[in-house]
Amino acid sequence: AQTVTQSQPEMSVQEAETVTLSCTYDTSENNYYLFWYKQPPSRQMILVIRQEAYKQQNATENRFSVNFQKAAKSFSLKISDSQLGDTAMYFCAFTPNTDKLIFGTGTRLQVFP
Amino acid sequence: SAVISQKPSRDICQRGTSLTIQCQVDSQVTMMFWYRQQPGQSLTLIATANQGSEATYESGFVIDKFPISRPNLTFSTLTVSNMSPEDSSIYLCSVVLRQGRNIQYFGAGTRLSVL
Q: Which domains occur in chain B, in start order?
A: 30-100 (2.60.40.10)
Q: Residues for chain A: how many in total? A: 113
Q: Are A27 and A2 in contact (CB under 8 A)?
A: yes
B92 interface with A at CB cutoff 8 Å: yes
Which residues are within 8 A (CB) of A33 and not within 5 positions of it... i.e. 6 or more apart?
A: A50, A51, A52, A53, A94, A95, A97, B102
Q: Pick from A76, A60, A65: which is nearest to A6 by CA?
A: A76
pLDDT score recorded for residue B100? 60
A31 interface with B at CB cutoff 8 Å: no
Alpha helices in A5-108 (DSSP H): none
| A60 or B100, greater pLDDT | A60
pLDDT score recorded for residue B101? 66
- Measured between alpha carbons, how far is B12 from B21 in angstroms, rounded to an integer? 13
- Measured between alpha carbons, how far is A50 from B106 in angstroms, rounded to an integer? 15
Contact assignment for A45 to B42 by CB distance below 8 Å: no
Q: Residues for chain B: how many in total? A: 115
pLDDT score recorded for residue B56? 93
B53 interface with A at CB cutoff 8 Å: no
Distance from CA of A99 to the nearest CA of B (A): 5
Residue of chain A with shortest Cα separation from B56 = A100
pLDDT, one tens digit per residue, over A67-108 is 999 999 999 999 999 999 999 999 999 998 777 899 999 999
Contacts of A44 in chain B (CB under 8 A): 106-109
pLDDT score recorded for residue A29? 87
- Measured between alpha carbons, how far is A92 from A109 in angstroms, rounded to an integer? 13
Residue of chain B with shortest Cα separation from A108 = B40
Distance from CA of B103 to the nearest CA of A (A): 8
Contact assignment for B41 to A43 by CB distance below 8 Å: no
The dihedrals phi and psi of A56, each to the nearest 5 degrees, come to -75, -25
Percent with pLDDT over 90 in chain B: 77
Structural domain containing residue A96: 3-112
Please report which helix (H) or strand (E) contains residue B49, including its range: strand B43-49
For residue B82, the tally of other CB atoms under 10 A from its CB is 11
Residue of chain B with shortest Cα separation from A36 = B103
Contact assignment for A100 to B92 by CB distance below 8 Å: no
Indicate the residue of B42, B103, B107 with minimum beta-carbon distance to A106.
B42
Query: Based on the structure, what is the number of domains in chain A?
Result: 1
pLDDT, one tens digit per residue, over B57-80 is 999 999 999 999 999 999 999 999
Strands A60-61 and B31-37: unpaired
Low-confidence ranges of chain B (pLDDT < 70): 99-101
pLDDT score recorded for residue B5? 95
B45 interface with A at CB cutoff 8 Å: yes
Q: Are B72 and B24 in contact (CB under 8 A)?
A: no
B31 interface with A at CB cutoff 8 Å: yes
pLDDT score recorded for residue B79? 98
Q: Are A11 and A109 in contact (CB under 8 A)?
A: yes
* Domain CATH code at residue A65: 2.60.40.10
pLDDT(A47) > 80: yes
Q: Are B95 and A29 in contact (CB under 8 A)?
A: no
